[in-house]
Amino acid sequence: MRELDDIFAALSRSDFRGRPRLDRRDAAYLREKTLSVVMRHAREFIAERLSPAAPTSDGRQTPMRGHPVFPAQHATATCCRGCLAKWHHIALGTELTRDQTEHVLQAIERWLSQQPLPEGTAKIPRETQELLFPVE
């Protein structure tokens, strides 16, 4: 697996990976439910849709909208096994390990916590960001 800093640097150079954004509804949902609840949902989505060795409808299993995790997955190339192989160097054809699953979740959480929320929504509190990504 590649380091997240390396992946995020590479993703920043991709026009497609730079397009996903949280819309007002996703941002409001994130604010209302909190990042920790949204990340529990992310864990469920990953277990069901990404973790199997051969996920159902691989390459089309992640919608573009409808939950804050979905744009995060597209932005972080954690949307399908092909993207995981290309960007994260996680091999196709085997079930995700616990470490690989955590890696995927860390990428999603990092992206979500860094998003500017549209006007009219609250930002993720600085204290939460510092807990998630402490400055060393």
pLDDT tens readout for residues 11-43: 999 999 989 999 889 988 898 888 999 999 999
Residues 6+ apart with CB under 8 A from 132: 35, 109, 110, 113
Residue pLDDT, tens place only, 67-86? 999 999 999 999 999 999 99
Domain range for 73: 4-132
Mean pLDDT of 44-62: 92
pLDDT for the residue 60: 87
56 within 8 A of 113, measured Cβ to Cβ: no
- Domain count across the chain: 1
Whole-prediction pTM: 0.83
Answer whether residue 130 shows pLDDT above 90: no
Cα 117 to chain center, whole Å?
16
